[in-house]
Structure 1
């Protein structure tokens, strides 16, 4: 029993040695190196790509605001305005409408000041003009259209 087991193990090891020599397989038998290398490899590879504010492709420099805007698609998908990872206007928030959608942001702090939409197709233009006149200096104005921005 035991002699057969020793012979089988010896044949297995000899076969493994011959195969490793023929195919030039380099063996690192030091378990400490094997475990240390696998831990370093796992730490070196990021598990997922980094996420930047508002889903933009790269990080903004210091003292800059990250923002992303997308106008609506016909009358199906509403516009989306995001500043500093804060979605100011979107169809999900249900604060967008047909026409011109406007979000105001403080140019100093990046804090949202106001968000409104103006129907330029069937509505009056006067409220939009008054709104634009009331905007303070140093305010960032972000605009996106939805459906039709104005009459043909």
Structure 2
């Protein structure tokens, strides 16, 4: 083969090889997804690593419990309130009986009554203990509650200023050990029963921390609360 012909052949072969290489690279670029280099390196590095098992997100339970209540029990949550955006709450079997959204919470002592055997709500009431004479009406309301009833009681803002001795005696008769100790703007929650007895260690919680006037939250961020379950009737 002549030198000139051999040179032309080599040049054509080089051009053809270059075109093939360019086309192969083009096909790879089109077929392989556009993944950042950092992701590619991470995927390569993670091949030899052990898989990490992530804990599942906890399932929401009734009344914001973190774990399900035992069978044949009622779930409840009580939360005292104060200020402009920390409203008292009473939740029973995942139903909000009393709170801001239900529109039936107010300053004073808030009460929800539930039929112990059926779990049905009988009534909800609130009694202002800062203004007006509402201590006697609350006493009569408590005395009128039928037997075999659960009573849930929470304070919002202040529940003691005009609370009279007769009302305190009525609440104490239900098993309260703190009703005569609450002070101005104390936080207090109480679970009571008429016609049967509940475990005493789960019935009542009180915080003597007073709510700061003119603020939206209780002093020290303390709010009395109770979250538990009781056997069904």
Q: Deviations over 1:66-120 (max 9, x none)?
A: 1011000345421010000100000122111110000001101211110010012
Aligned counterpart in structure 2 of residue 122 of structure 1, from 122, 126, 131:
131
Q: Which residue of 2 is the match for residue 69 of structure 1?
A: 78
**What residue is the counterpart of 2:118 in the other structure?**
109
Ranges in structure 1 where 5+ consecutive residues have no aligned partner: 6-22, 27-37
Give distance in 2, aligned partners of 1:47 and 1:65: 26
Is 2:168 the partner of 1:146? no
TM-score by length of 1: 0.68
Which residue among 101, 104, 114 is the counterpart of 1:95? 104
| Structure 2 unmatched ranges of 5 or more | 1-16, 25-44, 162-183, 185-233
Please give the alpha-carbon distance, in whole angstroms, between the structure 2 residues aligned to 1:127 and 1:150. 15
Q: Distance between the aligned counterparts of 1:126 and 1:61, measured in 2? A: 39
Q: Secondary structure at the match of 2:73?
A: coil
TM-score under structure 2 length normalisation: 0.46
Query: Which secondary structure does the structure 2 equivalent of 1:66 belong to?
Result: strand
Q: How does 1:2-151 map to 2 (within 5 A)?
A: 47-74=56-83, 76-124=85-133, 125-151=135-161
SS at match of 1:97: coil
Q: Tell me which stretches of 4 or more aligned residues in structure 1 moved more than 4 Å.
A: 44-47
Query: How many corresponding residue pairs?
Result: 120
How far is the alpha carbon of 1:47 from its aligned partner?
4.7
Choose 1 or 2 for highest CA Rg. Answer: 2
